[in-house]
Structure 1
């Protein structure tokens, strides 16, 4: 059965990564793309051979089974709800929503209607993280003591949505959620927030720098850092009693990059090159053919939003969005 996709929004990630992967994926068809700006939708549609349309018209199309939604975080709830009510499976950019209450409501709606709702964290589909987790479980590092992870990017141009508090911008939602979800991937959803700090500047109404300490099962401590503005950093280290393992290009590796995971005693583990974008989309398409199999991923998505709420509470930071 062919899964017919529509894309709700012409974000850069949709054009650079997701649309090309959809075109290359067997059993998947890209049918339509929507934008609030007709010219953007037309240009996108011409590039990828699909139909240009509006948001509402796309959701009303009977030839669209699933929707990819790369809109700003504060718009996720509104348009995810609309897509689910229209009977569409939804792949929404991470996080599913910026806060837990709306995430729970959307998950409940998806379950009630027998639809797949998944947030588009791609990195857990890369085999390098499975290699790390397998090494941890096999005792290769000895007893695991800590995780240190960091994701940061240089400053963005003025007007970037990441600087817009009304759209739930900021470093935590855009970047900090990656090492947060990594901690969930490695240690499970039982992690809790021990303390957190979020910092801004007088010129910005969003958080630009953050540090979070998490308590994980088996007395493991995870420390995550993230920043919007500064050097590009994208790595993590898992430390054990006997050895540690370091992962570079952790969250956004190119499809043709072969990771070498470095151990502190000079040894290394090689994970195969892997296209995490295609893998994530293929896994979503598989779930759409059996929606009731997706419960664990929905639970992890809710837990991520609960942890985001806990981080803001620990840092004394209020979330301001349009909803």
Structure 2
């Protein structure tokens, strides 16, 4: 019988309780063992609630019976603890954004490469089936040549003191929600941008609370907006020469939610709309399952792809920061 991968969670974050714990427990080849907090009482309370073992950050990483660390820590803490995990021989899943700069991402990848370990940036929406439907419609020619990807992801203001507003923890709308629009534009257009123009606004806050960007691809463009001061939006569309395809929910989708993809065509005199129901899916379980399968099989090609994927994302995010800071178009 194959040994199960043993998982420890580094931090009592909302996303861990809402999605990650249940997702890990649903995977037959995985055993979720422990959860850590800097506060002993909090770790013990969460551990009791979810039938896990309580640890501190240091003691979790030091355990020799843990194979994988899952980190939902704030962006500004990921690098420190990832490097420590790599030194301790642990594979790691980090929630997006995995870090706050291209140099930081390079350092993290190097630490895991040197130790022959997997490092994965968890963009769980990649595994939602509606994106496969969008890609198949584009491939079939249903919208003709895709010209413009357009996406919006944003929320009403969070409570005062939320970690997303902390500059020390590298919060901000680009790192928190803008990253999803960047990731999905690249996935759907099946290419990397050649230039970016980005604006970020703080409106008196420590961090950017809203932003927008144009990503130029070799044969298309992507327009995106994101922020913490908005009507809730969670969607994208692709506008082509013959039609448009769009999602109702794109980035954050509950495991039981049945989403839709709409195809719109118009020849100038008649408009046609077709709606496709997309089965519900647990994006976290699918993403974690992908990672754990690669680690269990020691699939070095898949692990190398993980390094390269997070570096490509980090390169675009860095270009966006430079563009916003310097007020110019940045060529990649």
Q: TM-score, normalised by structure 2?
A: 0.92
> 2:315 is matched with which residue: 303, 306, 309?
306
| Greater alpha carbon shift after TM alignment, 304-313 vs 290-299 | 290-299
Task: Structure 1: state its 5+ residue gaps.
Answer: 319-323
Q: Which residue of 1 aligns with 2:171?
A: 169
SS at match of 1:45: helix
Deviation at 1:138, TM superposition (A): 2.0
| CA displacement at 1:310 relative to structure 2 | 0.7
Tell me the equivalent position of 1:156: 158
1:249 aligns with 2:258: no
Rounded Cα–Cα distance in structure 2 between residues aligned with 1:194 and 1:301: 18
Give CA-to-partner distance per residue, 1:215-264, whole Å, 9 cap, x none: 1132x010010011221000001011111011011001111222221112
How far did 1:4 drift? 0.2
Residue in structure 2 matched with residue 111 of structure 1 by the alignment: 113
Conserved 8 A contact 2:37-2:57: yes
Q: CA deviation at 1:5?
A: 0.3
1:260-271 to structure 2, matched below 5 A, reads 260-264=260-264, 265-271=272-278
Preserved contact between residue 147 and residue 239 of structure 1 (Cα < 8 Å) = yes
- Residue in structure 2 matching 1:61, options 63, 68, 91: 63
After TM superposition, the structure 1 = structure 2 runs for residues 1-323 of structure 1, keeping only pairs within 5 Å, are 1-202=3-204, 204-218=205-219, 220-264=220-264, 265-289=272-296, 290-292=298-300, 293-316=302-325
Between 82-91 and 24-33, report the one with greater CA deviation. Answer: 24-33
Judge conservation of contact 2:194–2:218 (CA < 8 Å) in 1.
Answer: no
Distance (whole Å) between structure 2 residues aligned to residue 229 and residue 307 of structure 1:
24
**SS of alignment partner, residue 169 of structure 1:** coil
Q: Secondary structure at the match of 2:28?
A: coil
For residue 291 of structure 1, report the CA deviation from its aligned partner.
4.2
Give per-residue Cα distances to partners, 1:263-284, cap 9 Å, x unaligned: 1221123322211111111111
Moved more, 221-230 or 291-300: 291-300
Aligned equivalents of 2:251, 2:291: Cα separation in 1: 19
Return the offset for 1:189.
Answer: 4.8
Q: Equivalents in 2 of 1:211, 1:192: separation in Å?
A: 17
Distance 1:200 1:45 in 2: 38
CA distance in 1, matches of 2:236, 2:145: 17
Q: Secondary structure at the match of 1:178?
A: helix
Question: How many Å separate the matches in 2 of 1:89 and 1:127?
Answer: 27
Residues in 2 aligned to 1:268 and 1:173: alpha-carbon distance in whole angstroms: 32
State the secondary structure of the residue aligned to 1:81: helix
> Which stretches in structure 2 are left out of the alignment for 5+ residues?
265-271, 328-332
